[in-house]
Amino acid sequence: NVAAGKALLERELGRLDLPPVDFDKLAEKANLKNAEDMFAALGAGDLRLAHLVNMAQQLVEPERGYDQLELIPRRSAPHKPGKRGDVQIQGVGNLLTQMAGCCQPLPGDPIVGYITQGRGVSIHRQDCPSVLQLAGREPERIIQVSWGPVPEKTYPVEISIRAYDRAGLLRDISQMLLNERINVLSMNTRSNKEDSTAQMTLTIEIPGLNALGRLLSRISQLPNIIEAKRQRAT
């Protein structure tokens, strides 16, 4: 049970591309003595994976309590200041914000802000290689940010699916996305005849990290799927 629970949790955290989690702290948050007890409870089915992943997300998410900032939704004009926003920024007034395309942050991801020249604040995932380079060159432009109230819009994110190639594979995945009401912005498929596998890269619109986890879990349950995961930041 310990081995099974640990493998299950690590696979799900890796699928969501969350930063490293202190398992002992996570066990304490779950009211268990230590990480081994937590893994055993998960492996035995006494602890729900979704509940544990949600607590892990809370551990790695930046602290809240900052001044609210209005967010510009994708493909729409900016709202007037004062309405409910998605991102909170420490020590700054109302500024324009945009989600960085290099790492495509989702609500629930640990994030950081970079003050651009003339384009407001660019929001990145904390482990984004681009913002790490920027922080090394211009640390004064990096500001603390966190997610605000529950978002009311969707965000683009890239996922990759690896599967054993078969007739109807693309149809089944497309039908699953249709059933889940997931909008697909782009899709790229490559077949490898040597090992009879197919590699798919999709850009989809999703409301947040929890919804992404549920979708990847359901895709993984389709026949012949080897792996379904979120693309890492580039």
**E strand residue ranges, the chain:** 67-69, 87-89, 97-99, 111-115, 121-125, 142-147, 155-164, 183-192, 197-206, 225-230
Domain ranges of the chain: 2-60, 67-147, 155-230
Residue 42 has pLDDT above 50, yes or no: yes
Instruction: Report which of 216, 186, 219 is spatially closest to residue 203, judged by C-alpha positions.
Output: 186
pTM of the model: 0.50
Q: Would you say residue 10 has pLDDT above 80?
A: yes
Give 74's pLDDT tier (boundaries 50, 70, 90): very low
Position 169 scores a pLDDT of 84
Homologous superfamily (CATH) for 155-230:
ACT domain (3.30.70.260)
What integer is the mean pLDDT of 4-13? Answer: 86
Q: Is residue 155 a contact partner of residue 74, using CB atoms and an 8 Å limit?
A: yes
| Among 19, 195, 210, residue whose Cα is nearest residue 111 | 19
